[in-house]
Structures are given as C-alpha cells and as structure tokens.
Structure 1
Amino acid sequence: MIRSNSLLLCALLLTMFQAAMCQVNLKSVDQVWDHYDRYKEPVITNRFFKHTEVLHLIQKHTTSRFIDAVQIGQSVKGRSINHLKLGTGKTKVLLWSQMHGDESTATMALFDLLNFLAADDEHNELRKLILGNLELNIVPMLNPDGAQQWKRRNDLEIDINRDARYLVTPEGRALMNLAKELKPEIGFNLHDQSTLYAAGPTSNTATLSFLAPAYDYPKSMNEVRKRATQLILTMNTALQTRVPGKIAKYDDAFDPRCFGDTFQGMGISTILIESGGYYVDPEKQYIRKINFYALLNAFESIAKKSYANQNLEDYQSIPENSRSLYDVLIRNVSISKEGIAFRTNLGIVRSQIKSPDFGSMSYNGRIEELGDVELTYGYDEIEASNLTFTPGNIKLMRKSEWEALSPQQELNLIREGYLFVKWTDGTSPAGPLNARLLNLTNKATNTIQSASIGQQAQFLLSRDGKPVYALLNGYVLDLTKNVEAVPNVFGY
C-alpha cells in the first residue's frame, strides 16, 4: 500500500511538473507578444516591399549563418524563388507566402519570426523547443513578379494557386518540387483576403480566416486533415485572447486546382491562413503581428504535439467568413431621387488605386449598395435617421488661394457646405490628391446631386440644412470635431 501510494504521488508530481512546464512555455509565447517590437523587421514598413528587399533580408540571415538558403526556381521574369531552412528537428514544416503577389502580410510576419528565432534573450527556452523539434522550411514571396506590380497573378496572368494540377507556372512547379522533395508533415499556405469579410453574421471583421482544405469531393476526414484542423483550433484558442470574435473559417468545398487541397491529398497537413481586416490598419501592421503570434503558437504546439488534445467538434464553432462589411455604412438617411423622398441605407466601399511605381495606394470611395442592408455592417457606421443626403457646393478661387488654404480653412469651408474647389485661373489636375480635404473640379456644377450606385462618395449629411458629416471620397468626417486630412481626395 505504501509503495502504491508512493507511485501515485510520483505520478501526480510528474503530471503537475509537466503542466507547470506547459504553463511556462505558454507564458513565454505571451511574453513574446509583449516584446514583439524587438523582432519586427524594420526594413519592412508597409505592404509594398519588393523582391530586392526580400533578397537583402535573406542575405542578412545567411550571412549570420542562422539559415540555409537555396534558390529553387525562377519566376517568369527571372526573379529568384528561395527556400530558407532552419531548425534541426525531425518534424518538417513547410510555409509559403505571397503566392498571390498582392498578399504580403504573412511575408512580413515570416521575417519577424526569423528575427525572433535568431535572437538571444529570455525566450531561449521557447526557441530551443521549436528549433530542436522542428525543421522549418520557408518560401517567402513565391510570386515575386506579382509583388513587383502589386497584382494577384503571375506574369503569365495565371493564378498560381489554381495551378496545382497543370503546373504551367514556374513558380507553381518550384513549390510542388520542393514539397515532393521535403515530404513535410505540415504545411502553411499564407494569404490575404479582402478586408470586407466578417466572422459570421456579425460586425466583427474576419481578421484571420482559416481552412483545413478537403482532399476529396466528399470532404473526408483522415488523420492528415485532422491534424491540420487541430492546429487551427490551437491557433484559434490563442488568438481569441488577442482578437476575440474576429477569427473565421472558409467553406471547405474541394478544389483540385488548389495547392492546399492537393497537398492535403499528398499527406501534408495543410492549413490555409488568410489575413483580412482590422479597424484602422490599412497597411495590416497589426495583422502582421497577429500572424506572427498565430504561427509562433502553432510552432510551439507542433513541437510539443499538444494540438492532439483539441476536439474536432470545436471546429464547427468557428464562424464562416462572409462578405458582409462595408468601409462605411450609413443607416436610415433621407434622400430624394426621381422626385421621391425616402429613407434608406448606403453602403460605401473604398477601392484601391495602385501608384505608378506600385509602391503605395490611393483610394476611391464609391456607393456600392443602396437599400436594405440586413446582416451587413460597416467599419464606420452612421445612424442618419435625422440626417439628409446633401450635395456639396463648389468654391471658386484662384490656384494660389487653394494652395494657401490651411487644413482648418478647408474644414471651415466644408462646414459651410463646400466639397469642391474650381480654379478660376487654370485647369486643375485629375486623379488622387494627397493631404487635402477639398476636392478639385473643372466642372461648373456638381454632378453628384443624389445617391446612386457606383457614384463616388462625395456628399454631406445635414440636419436642418447644416452639415453634420462630410463623406470625402468615402471617408467620414465628423464636422463637430477637428480633423486631419484624409488619405486622399480627388481632382475631376
């Protein structure tokens, strides 16, 4: 009996020790979140970095002998596709990013993770756990030609992620050949999605969306897909502490053209991660940090195999993402059209306009919806039940007077009902205008007299004839407050 009790006590102490060690590691991951700025790669400051910057960052880590790097292919335009390897563990993990050239959030996070894993500080136990148990294989910027022109497809105009069967693209062939050579146990397919997706029928943005792709049309569940699903659940648990309610999942209909579905069928537990939207994060720098945190939690879980404790049924509780958000939603505004006055709702979306050097973005706000907007929401919402859609007026002034306007003077003119300036001594430019509030026009009258689908969102919301809000190129200005310039207005 004494021996039995001793064995029971030892087992209990061992369980408590293991649980304590898990807590230490979990605490360490959370502390890394607090210390993230130490590891954030300073060379990358926005979404529009190019292949050249990636090569410099790869060289930084190969020079320090932290990673091994080898070219595994070339893009259509001859840019290198690179495979980075680090870690000495038996479990091989393959991560690839920017398969779509204009989806760069995860690429930023991958270089932040390399900085973390190369560092030497109080998080060394976590590094030792990850690098001692995993072999990380990273292909950053699989589509460098697409990144160069900030476009989804490669230079053949083929969507690489729909090329898993035909392998027409050199980029797709490079990834497939690497996967067949490595035979990794786990793969991460890293993408971006529209910022207008919500997590289920809610106002919550889908900041990250996951998918454990199906490998056949019946959407069967084998051990390979089960492991991918359990890893998603692990990341979801961690992320709910950072972006609660803002995690979603994709519909899992099988598509044999896609790499994720194909790799799942090849025995690689593949997880799709899509970076969506977060309020006031147009460059996705906070979502970059969210990616960093999600992947770090996944690495830890793979190293410890703790994901195996996740219950598959919990996957059903993750809401599906849905395209149900607008940049701005105006509810119950009074408008007049065709001689009829009525109250309705306006959904406004800001589309993106690439700069000529593909290094920055301007925005073009337009009315996308007019009418019933049940189960849709806005990043910004205005309850306009006591407001009226009001066209903006045109202010006549010389070019030099416009150039001399201060932001406060522009704001005062908007409060008086002006949204446009027409130069009396010349022709003003067309296209996006930065760091201003008032639009420019060469027209004698404002053509935006009522709300219409597709119309640019340049109007006022008034109460008793006095402007309360201004919609400038789809951006909301509360005229009761002092404001700064919006990202851009327009010249017409």
Structure 2
Amino acid sequence: MQALTYLEEYHSFKEAALNSRFLKHKTIQQLIKKLPEAFEQRCIGQSHEGRDINLIQWGNGSIKVFLWSQMHGDEATGTMALFDLFNFLQLPQFQEISSLLAKSCTLYLLPMVNPDGAERFVRRNAQQIDINRDFNHQVSPEARLLKNTRAEINPHFGFNLHDQSTLWSVKKTGKPATLSYLAPAFDEALSVNEVRQNAMLVIAQMYKYLNPLLPQQIGLFDDEYEARAFGDNFQAAGTSTILIEAGGMFGDEEKQEIRKYFFLSILSGLYAISTRNYVEEPLQHYFSIPKNNKEIFHILIKNLLHQDIRVSIGLSYEEEPAEQGYATVKTYTIKDIGDLDHLGAYHIYKEETLQIEGPIDIYQPANFTLKKDNMILLSFKNGILQSKL
C-alpha cells in the first residue's frame, strides 16, 4: 500500500465541507444524499431527539467490515475520515486499491452515531448518557441501534473510531500520541483468542504503514477490560474489533492534519484485511507498539525562578463547548510544579531570564503573566489565555 502517495494526494479527496471539528448532523445528511448509487444507504433509526442515523453499504466482497464513528459527540475526526474515504473510493486514480477493497469486502459505515451530542459538541447524548458505557442497559436509542446493527450484519471486522484527550503521549518520548490503537479485551483475563488476535494483527500492519509517517507519535492503549463498552462486547461477540483514537499533534488543534493519518489508518487496515497480509504478521509486532501514557502538558515553563527556587510549571486546559456547539472555551489550570524535566509539552518556554507576575497556585486556574525582558510571552486571566508568543 502506497501510504505516502495517498498522503501527498490527500487534497484530492478531502471532504471540503467538513473543515472543523464542529460538524453537524445537517451537513452530514447533505453529504450522504450526494453519494452515488454504489453507496447504498438507509435510515436505521433516530437519535433521542429524532435525528436520522444512516447506514451506508459499499462493496460486494465476502468479508464484512463494520465502521462506526462519533459515539461521543465531540469526537469528530473519525467522521471526517469516513467522508474522506467515501471520496477516495470514487476517484479513478485510486481504482486499483478501491477495486481490491470492493471485491474482497463489503463495508458497512455508520457515521455520527451520536448526532444530538455533535449538535452541542459534547461527549454524551441528549439524555446525558455516555453511549459507549450503555451496551448492557441500552437506555439510549443510539446504543440500541448500534448493538442491533452489528447483530444484523454480523461483521468479521469492526472499526471503532474515536478521539482521545490531547494529553495522551507516547511513553518516554515527550511527544503527543497523535494516534492510538487497541484490540479491546473481551474478558477480565485479557485473553487472546482468534477473533482478538486477528484485530491485533491488523493493527500491527496499520502501525507498520503509519509509523514511518508519524515516528514516535503512535501509541498502544492499555487493554483493561470494560464490561459496559461496545468495543469489548463486539470483540466478545465474534467481531474482530479495532479501536482507533485521534489524539494531538503540534500546531493542529482542530485536527485537520490528524484526519489524514486517521484516514490512512482506516485504509491500511482495510488493505490488510482485503489482502489477508495480516495473517503473516507476528503477534509480537502488536505488543511491541509503544504504550501511551500521560507525560505531556499543553504548556510547560521550565527552569523558572519562583519563590527563590528553580522549578518547572506545567499547565493544561479543559475544553467546554461554546457558541452553540461551534467552538470551545479552553480553561488552563496549573497541573504541576517542580521537577518536570522528563515531561513534554505542545509549547515549551525555557529561557533563563523568564519572569512571572501573579500567583502560581497548584490545581488552580492560571492567573499570571510570563515575561522575558519586559515582553509578554503568556498572559492568563482566570484560566483564560489572553495572549501568547
């Protein structure tokens, strides 16, 4: 698979109508209606607030693959990548790989499982339920739809598409985990049967293709069993389930660069499934993927003289939806003070002449100004960033 070529040609199939994380159900519906006949579509039900949820089918191969995105309304990267995939599959210059996929696989795609949450840009649905913790009780209509759809299709493989906190990093690198992968566990013992092993081997192939493009920026999630989650239960039901999470990337807060690599993760996984190359992959290659952890801040101020001692200060923000779900407000908190030499950050300030004006209080909203030679580098008021150089 020519991953670098597809990355270079990404502009030719990027869905231009989806240019931010704050995409809404109305836009998605308009794009679905424009898909050609090769993409069969049907409404399989409605969200709690009555928004249609559509299933799209493409290809005629014997291997059934189910892909679903945006169970959490504020996790839109997978949805953007799926619509990029729809465009990719239509372009003649990529006919060789699209024909291979169509002959080998039948794809079932469910973009935006949680349109009510997407409308508000919040994690949970309109009932304030975390859909991905509702597999057992199914009090949300979205959980019932997702569970019933998998049961109806009975797919061989599943792609569970999510976004993770930008504070996940790749262990011992100081770099953000731009992507994270996982073959979820299906029991508390973390057993590996043929179903889960197939997911692991596909992920190992994905990592082989993506790692050269994102060195030290792909992590493997801890596989702790979660009895309420869909990925764990789909794995138990016989669908080899692959979790892909979009994290952070330097200079890409809106994830318009990350979506390229997310798309490539999906495509490389589908390619591995179509060619069955994954069966030749040693299982150890999955377990050798670097683990992810949280060793990164959004802002790190190093070697600062504060109260007559030299310390580093780490700050990170929490996002809350604003402007009716079309933007967010970032509130910065001082997360740590002391020896932070082994940690990384998206923005690092480390000049020896730095000066701070204002209080530095652990676990409190940032409320200070950082200067160098009387020039303001950072300024916060009640946790809100006022200026930054």
- What is the TM-score with the length of structure 2 in the denominator? 0.95
Higher relative contact order (CA 8 A, sep 6+): 2
Quote the offset at 1:106 in angstroms: 0.7
User: Structure 1 CA distance, aligned partners of 2:80 and 2:211?
Assistant: 22
SS of match in other structure, 1:284: coil
Of 431, 448, 452, 2:361 maps to 452
Say whether 1:467 aligns with 2:374.
yes
Say whether 1:88 aligns with 2:60.
yes
Segments of structure 2 that go 5 or more residues without pairing to the other structure are none
Of 91, 98, 101, 1:127 maps to 98
Q: Which residue of 1 aligns with 2:117?
A: 146
User: Structure 1 CA distance, aligned partners of 2:371 and 2:385?
Assistant: 20
Q: Which residue of 1 aligns with 2:82?
A: 110
Of 355, 361, 373, 1:389 maps to 355
Say whether 1:74 aligns with 2:46.
yes
Equivalent pair of 1:364/1:473 in contact (CA under 8 Å): no
Segments of structure 1 that go 5 or more residues without pairing to the other structure are 1-25, 392-448, 475-486
2:61 partner letter: G
When residues 353 and 489 of structure 1 are mapped into structure 2, their CA distance, relative to the original with a 3 A threshold, is farther
Say whether 1:157 aligns with 2:128.
yes
Quote the offset at 1:31 in angstroms: 2.1
Of 277, 293, 297, 1:322 maps to 293
User: Structure 2 CA distance, aligned partners of 1:194 and 1:129?
Assistant: 35
SS of match in other structure, 1:172: helix
SS of match in other structure, 1:42: coil
Equivalent pair of 1:66/1:118 in contact (CA under 8 Å): no
When residues 280 and 457 of structure 1 are mapped into structure 2, their CA distance, relative to the original with a 3 A threshold, is farther
Q: Which residue of 1 aligns with 2:24?
A: 50
Say whether 1:238 aligns with 2:209.
yes
User: Structure 1 CA distance, aligned partners of 2:118 and 2:88?
Assistant: 25
User: Structure 1 CA distance, aligned partners of 2:286 and 2:174?
Assistant: 21
Of 118, 124, 143, 1:172 maps to 143
Q: Which residue of 1 aligns with 2:240?
A: 269
Quote the offset at 1:468 in angstroms: 5.2
SS of match in other structure, 2:34: helix
- What is the TM-score with the length of structure 1 in the denominator? 0.75
1:329 partner letter: L
SS of match in other structure, 1:123: helix
User: Structure 2 CA distance, aligned partners of 1:256 and 1:289?
Assistant: 32
2:359 partner letter: S
Quote the offset at 1:193 in angstroms: 0.4
User: Structure 2 CA distance, aligned partners of 1:226 and 1:212?
Assistant: 8
Once the two structures are superposed, what CA deviation does each residue of 1:349-402 show, in whole Å capped at 9, x if it has no partner?
133242232112233333222223253211121224x234332xxxxxxxxxxx
Equivalent pair of 2:332/2:385 in contact (CA under 8 Å): no
Once the two structures are superposed, what CA deviation does each residue of 1:31-75 show, in whole Å capped at 9, x if it has no partner?
2222110100011110001000010010010xx213111111211
Say whether 1:372 aligns with 2:279.
no
Question: How many residues align structurally?
Answer: 384
Of 36, 49, 70, 1:98 maps to 70
Q: Which residue of 2 aligns with 1:439?
A: none
Q: Which residue of 2 aligns with 1:295?
A: 266
2:66 partner letter: L
Q: Which residue of 1 aligns with 2:5?
A: 31
User: Structure 2 CA distance, aligned partners of 1:311 and 1:457?
Assistant: 52
Q: Which residue of 2 aligns with 1:213?
A: 184
Equivalent pair of 2:359/2:367 in contact (CA under 8 Å): no
Query: What is the identity percentage for the equivalent residue pairs of Structure 1 and Structure 2?
Result: 38
Once the two structures are superposed, what CA deviation does each residue of 1:278-332 show, in whole Å capped at 9, x if it has no partner?
0000100111000111111111111110011111112222122112211111111
RMSD across aligned C-alpha pairs, in angstroms?
1.7
Quote the offset at 1:469 in angstroms: 5.2
User: Structure 2 CA distance, aligned partners of 1:303 and 1:390?
Assistant: 57
Of 229, 252, 261, 1:258 maps to 229
Q: Which stretch has the larger CA shift, 359-368 or 76-85?
A: 359-368
User: Structure 2 CA distance, aligned partners of 1:363 and 1:164?
Assistant: 31
Say whether 1:334 aligns with 2:305.
yes
1:459 partner letter: T
Quote the offset at 1:461 in angstroms: 3.2
1:129 partner letter: L
Q: Which residue of 1 aligns with 2:386?
A: 489
Quote the offset at 1:113 in angstroms: 0.4
